[in-house]
Amino acid sequence: MNQGYGSTNLKAREINLKEYYDLIKKRLWLMILIIILTTLAGYFYDSKYNNYVPLYETSTRIIIGPEAESMVTLMVMIKDPSILEKVIQELELTRTTETLAAQIDVVRLDESRVIQIAVTDEDPVLAANIANETARIFKEDIVSILQFSDVRLLSEAKEMPYPLNEKSNGITIIAFVFGVVVSIGLVFLLDSLDGTLKKDRDVEEILGVPVLGVISNMNRKKYISKKHKNYQDLEIRGETIGVE
């Protein structure tokens, strides 16, 4: 009893899946069109309104001598306006010391005597120049400011070929998924609004009587062609009989 019920449910599930497949296959062109349109709309919106600006980061390292009394003081001095003002003048930058200070990040590496000066900028070449120039001017001026001369350049900043922030295609992906969902929903909506009878079961449900037979679709061209051929065969047979 249970086996028969289970097989019936399985068969019904297979029929439903086939109906869904046929329905999607029938309107596949509409789904593809909607997905293409929504994806293109998302791509153009992303290109026009998503103000993507690539940022490049590079860094230089300096090493402070062991006799330095306060590493924190030296690190603060690197971003001091007196140092940055000279960097702006040397590189002929059109920005304030506050703006430049926001682009510079000074960190001490693992409690060592090495200080890293990292610079972020839209121009990778300019980022490297700012980092190197800041380290050079700091090394020269710290002598007169704090009477400290044991500062050595450990490594120079180099131009970075790849930006820190990769461009995101999130809006385009969302538009694609939205197109898939909308297209599937529209296909099922159109099917539900279609009042034509598509299956034997529809006729049985409406009329309340079993279907005894189904007339298959007839191809008009094939029917006319076959009828014409039969007519020609009949004429040939008639002529043959007449000759005999």
CA–CA separation, 40 and 49 (whole Å) = 14
> How far apart (Å, rounded) are the C-alpha atoms in residues 126 and 107?
20
List, edge to edge, every strand of the sheet that includes 151-155: 104-108, 114-121, 56-64, 151-155
| HSE value, Cβ hemisphere, 13 Å, CA-based, for 185 | 7
The Cβ-side half-sphere exposure at 39, using a 13 Å CA radius, reads 12
pLDDT at position 66: 75
Could you tell me what percentage of the chain is helix, strand and coil, using 3-state DSSP and rounding each to the nearest 5? 60, 10, 25
pLDDT confidence of 1, banded at 50, 70, 90? very low
Cα atoms in the Cβ-side hemisphere of radius 13 Å centred on 240: 6
The confidence score (pLDDT) of residue 110 equals: 86
Q: Which domains occur in the chain, in start order?
A: 56-155 (3.30.70.1130)
Q: What is the pLDDT of residues 117-144, one digit of tens each?
A: 999 999 999 999 999 999 999 999 988 8
- Express each pLDDT in 11-27 by its tens digit: 445 557 777 787 888 88
Of 5-14, 25-34, 167-176, 226-235, give the range with the top mean pLDDT.
Answer: 25-34
